[in-house]
Amino acid sequence: MEGIAPKAHRIAVLTGGRGRGSNLRAIHQHFKELGFPASVALVIGDRRQTPVCELCHDLELHFVYVSSKDMQSYEAEVIKLINEHQIELIALAGFLKLLSADFLSRVQVPVLNIHPSLLPKYGGAKMYGMKVHEAVFASGDKESGATVHEVSPIYDAGRIVKQKSVDISDCINSEEIAQKVLKIEHQIYAEAILQYLKS
C-alpha cells in the first residue's frame, strides 16, 4: 500500500519596505524543486506596490499588507494571521525592525532571520544591507558570508542556525561583496528552514 505524502510545512515570510524579495524567491524555488516539503503559505509586507508585491503576484503567493508604523498593532495583526493560516515558522527576509520579546513569546512558532555577514561580526542595530558590506570592505576582511539565526529581542543576537562563508579577497568594492554574499544567502536560507523544522 502506498504511503500518504506528508503535508508541506507552512512558512510565512515577513518582508520590509525596501526588500527586493530575492530571498523570498529563492526559498520558494528551493521548496518547489524539492517537491514542496514546505511551502510559502503567506507573505506579509509593510508596504504596498513594491517589488515583493509584484513577485508574489507572479509566483501566486498569498500577500497580505500590514502597516508597521505602530509596531504593537503590527505584531498583534501578524499573530492573528499566523494563527489563521496555520503557520509553523516565520522567516524574516529584509524585515529590519525589532520584534518585541512579548511578540516572540506569544507567536508560538520559531522566527528566523537571515543576515548578510558572519555573525557575530557586523551585526547590531545599524547593521543591515549595504551598510554591512561597506563595513566589511573597509575592514579589509578576506572572507564574509551569511548567517541564519533565531530572532531575539536584541538585533542579530539569537542562536545561530546556519552559517556559510565566501572568499571575498578578489572583491574590489562593497557591491561585489554584496553580490557574492547574496548568492550564499539564497543557498542557505531554505536549507536552514528545513533543517530547523526537522530538528
Q: How big is the site for ligand GAR, counted in residues (CB under 6 A)?
A: 15
Interface pick for ligand GAR out of 115, 133, 162, 180 (rule CB under 6 A): 115
Strand order across the 111-115 sheet? 63-65, 38-45, 9-15, 89-93, 111-115, 143-150, 160-167
Told to check if 19 binds ligand GAR by CB under 6 A, we report yes
Q: Rule CB under 6 A: which of 54-93 touch ligand GAR?
A: 93
Q: Write down how long the chain is.
A: 199
Catalytic position from the list 115, 133, 149, 186: 115
Which is nearest to 186 in space by CA: 158, 160, 166, 156? 166
The phi, psi pair for 14, rounded to 5°, reads -100, 120
Q: Which of 128, 158, 177, 196 binds ligand GAR (CB under 6 A)?
A: 128
Rounded Cα gap, residues 34 and 165, in angstroms:
24
Nearer to ligand GAR among residue 57 and residue 80 (C-beta): 57
Tell me if residue 115 is catalytic: yes
Using alpha carbons, select from 197, 180, 95, 112 the residue that is nearest to residue 146: 180
Q: Kindly tell me which residue out of 55, 185, 190, 192 binds ligand GAR, with binding defined by CB under 6 A.
A: 185
Shortest gap between Cβ of 20 and ligand GAR (angstroms)?
A: 4
Q: Which of 9, 21, 104, 118 binds ligand GAR (CB under 6 A)?
A: 21
Can you name the residues that pair with 164 across neighbouring β-strands? 146
Residue 20 touches ligand GAR, criterion: CB under 6 A? yes
Name which of 5 and 41 has its Cβ closer to ligand GAR. 41
Asked whether 45 and 62 are in contact (CB, 8 A), the reply is no
Residue 22 contacts ligand GAR per CB under 6 A = yes
What letter does residue 180 receive in the DSSP assignment? H
Task: List residues with catalytic annotation.
Answer: 115
Site residues (vs ligand GAR, CB under 6 A)? 19-23, 93-94, 96, 114-116, 128-129, 182, 185
